[in-house]
Chains A and B, each alone.
Chain A
Amino acid sequence: MKVRLNVNRQLREADIEPRKTLLDTLREDFLLVGCHAGCEHGVCGACTVLIDGEPSRSCLMFAVQADGYEITTIEGLSPAPGELSIVQDAFCETHGLQCGFCTPGMILTAHALLEGNEAPTREDIVEAISGNICRCTGYGQIVEAIEHAADRLRKTNVPRKTGGAAQGEAAQPDGPRGGRS
């Protein structure tokens, strides 16, 4: 089956079997290998991508279901080649990673949280990353990294969705946004 997916603001095409997950399609067909294959049944969170800005498991979605959504992988976060986003940089600065396997999922989840919530509490952060498993850090530095990123984002002029999920904005109905791709 042919699919056209909007990945990191680029339209990409692939000819794939319906049984191929979005995760495998991102990794094998589009070579976006920052999307990590961990448990492959929705438990570990390593394969997290953003679907229309919301963290989702790419192993729990078939690529044939994913047309029309805005898909963001870790490769789509950095502002320019060779640079890091503020959240990525905060993870480096506070040692929010060791082996790095969970990191793309953690960072995308943190990115989505901070898009909708300028000043998350520790509880908000813990709840947000509760679906992402890290076996190295013990989570302490990850929470610290996200707090640090929130602080830095508050001091920048980067425009964000204000309000957003954390403040009860009505969720959008499912389905493609912004017309057919």
Chain B
Amino acid sequence: MKPAPFDYVRPETLSEACELLASDDDARIIAGGQTLIPMLAMRLARPAKLVDILRLKELHGIRTERDAIVLGAVTRQVEVERSEIVRRSLPLLAKALPWIGHPPTRNRGTVGGSIANADPSAEIPLVAVTLGADIEIANPSDRARMPADEFFIGPMLTSVMPGDCVCAVRFPVWSTGRVGTGFQEVSARQSDFAFVAAAAQVALDETGRCIEAALGIGGVGDRAIRIDVVALLGENPSSASIKEIVRAGTSELEANSDLHASADYRRRVALTLGVRALDDAFADARSGHKALQ
């Protein structure tokens, strides 16, 4: 359980970090280290150089923009969990955060780390895909934005190229209607990796009709995906019709088998949790949540 030797550098600026990454194929970014260090300890990863970006101020913090909340890549998960802005404007993310790891790993783990690691069962990528967040990526010459849905390719696989650095995640804020959220997860033990997780957010107009709806499922296939729930729009759906819509949306779901759960189990639970998450979201919105700020 000792990592192989590596060089350690702590650049002062993002551009310096990008240069370092671009000039060495064997260099990897470290931030909170809560996933990378176990991989190093088990020697599943053996980078020659670690570029520590954790203290880059330009990558840190929670910022409100016109219609979005921008989370800097090295913002620690615990900071997001405690953030009043996130609770108010990104209630779905606030609901998902306590499911990430344990309190001590959330104290060190970062938002960008969870995104860049792209674990199919991870909560922050699931919320990012569900809400249609954008990932901001920097390289030595440029800064680009990419929709979360394109960013995640497969297990631990993203569109990040060598020399790129995830620098922020931009979550859209829903500003019309009464917004409600639901988050459901099943795992072997509390805080363990999700076999299946479901995240839902809906917005209702003053008559209780659904004007916006999003449902995402994680942990089932190679990456988190958004489920088509467009049939909810304009409706004031009963539990039964929510179930029919989720059933239709999840019928073709690609699912993986592993020693914890079969693909069949995952597909079945995806339907159940998807329905529960949406039920929770509607109940939450109907109980009179105000529009998000």
Does A130 contact B61, Cβ atoms closer than 8 Å? Answer: no
Is B52's CB within 8 Å of the partner chain A? yes
Q: Type the 1/0 row for B1-19, where 1 means its CB is closer than 8 Å to any CB of A.
A: 1111111100000000000
Is A62's CB within 8 Å of the partner chain B? yes
Is A83's CB within 8 Å of the partner chain B? no
Pick the contact of A109: B57, B83, B104, B191 (CB < 8 A). Answer: B104
Is B82's CB within 8 Å of the partner chain A? yes
Q: Residues of B contacting A88 with CB < 8 Å?
A: none
Is A168's CB within 8 Å of the partner chain B? yes
Q: With the chains together, A120 CA to B201 CA distance in Å?
A: 31
Pick the contact of A174: B33, B76, B84, B102 (CB < 8 A). Answer: B76
Interface positions of B from 16 to 42, Cβ below 8 Å from A: 30, 33-34, 37-38, 40-42
Q: Residues of A contacting B284 with CB < 8 Å?
A: none
Q: Which residue of A lies closest to B74 (CB)?
A: A174
Is A60's CB within 8 Å of the partner chain B? yes
Number of residue pairs A-B, CB distance < 8 angstroms: 108
Does A174 contact B54, Cβ atoms closer than 8 Å? Answer: yes
Does B108 contact A51, Cβ atoms closer than 8 Å? Answer: yes
Pick the contact of B79: A40, A61, A130, A173 (CB < 8 A). Answer: A173
- Min Cβ gap A45→B in Å is 7
Among A16-24, A74-82, A135-143, A147-155, the stretch in contact with B: A16-24
Does B79 contact A42, Cβ atoms closer than 8 Å? Answer: no
Q: Residues of B contacting A51 with CB < 8 Å?
A: 107-108
Q: Which residue of A lies closest to B2 (CB)?
A: A19
Given A54-B78, A130-B190, are A18 and B50 also a contact pair (CB < 8 Å)? yes
Q: With the chains together, A40 CA to B198 CA distance in Å?
A: 31
Q: With the chains together, A131 CA to B108 CA distance in Å?
A: 13
Q: Which residue of B lies closest to A165 (CB)?
A: B82
- Min Cβ gap A128→B in Å is 6
Q: Residues of A contacting B52 with CB < 8 Å?
A: 65
Given A165-B82, A170-B82, A171-B76, are A131 and B8 also a contact pair (CB < 8 Å)? no
Does B37 contact A174, Cβ atoms closer than 8 Å? Answer: no
Q: With the chains together, A18 CA to B2 CA distance in Å?
A: 11
Q: Which residue of A lies closest to B60 (CB)?
A: A173
Q: How many residues of B contact A (CB 8 A)?
A: 40
Q: With the chains together, A168 CA to B2 CA distance in Å?
A: 37
Is B105's CB within 8 Å of the partner chain A? yes
Given A18-B6, A18-B7, A170-B83, are A60 and B34 also a contact pair (CB < 8 Å)? yes
Q: Which residue of A lies closest to B40 (CB)?
A: A19
Q: Which residue of B lies closest to A170 (CB)?
A: B82
Q: Which residue of B lies closest to A48 (CB)?
A: B104
Q: Residues of A contacting B38 with CB < 8 Å?
A: 41-42, 60
Does B104 contact A174, Cβ atoms closer than 8 Å? Answer: no
Interface positions of B from 103 to 117, Cβ below 8 Å from A: 103-105, 107-108
Does B33 contact A56, Cβ atoms closer than 8 Å? Answer: no
Does A175 contact B108, Cβ atoms closer than 8 Å? Answer: no
Q: Residues of B contacting A19 with CB < 8 Å?
A: 2-6, 40
Q: Which of A24, A54, A65, A131 has the most CB of B within 10 A?
A: A65
- Min Cβ gap A141→B in Å is 20
Q: Type the 1/0 row for A22-65, where 1 means its CB is closer than 8 Å to any CB of B.
A: 00100000000000000111100100100100111101111011
Does A42 contact B1, Cβ atoms closer than 8 Å? Answer: no
- Min Cβ gap A4→B in Å is 14
Is B172's CB within 8 Å of the partner chain A? no
Does B105 contact A60, Cβ atoms closer than 8 Å? Answer: yes
Pick the contact of B104: A39, A41, A57, A171 (CB < 8 A). Answer: A57
Is A158's CB within 8 Å of the partner chain B? no
**10 A–B pairs (Cβ distance < 8 Å), ordered by A:** A1-B8, A39-B1, A42-B38, A55-B107, A57-B104, A59-B37, A131-B191, A165-B78, A170-B84, A173-B79
19 more A-B residue pairs beyond the given contacts A65-B33, A175-B55, with a C-beta to C-beta distance below 8 A: A19-B3, A19-B40, A21-B37, A21-B41, A24-B2, A40-B41, A41-B1, A55-B107, A57-B34, A57-B104, A57-B105, A59-B41, A60-B33, A171-B78, A171-B82, A171-B83, A173-B61, A174-B54, A174-B74
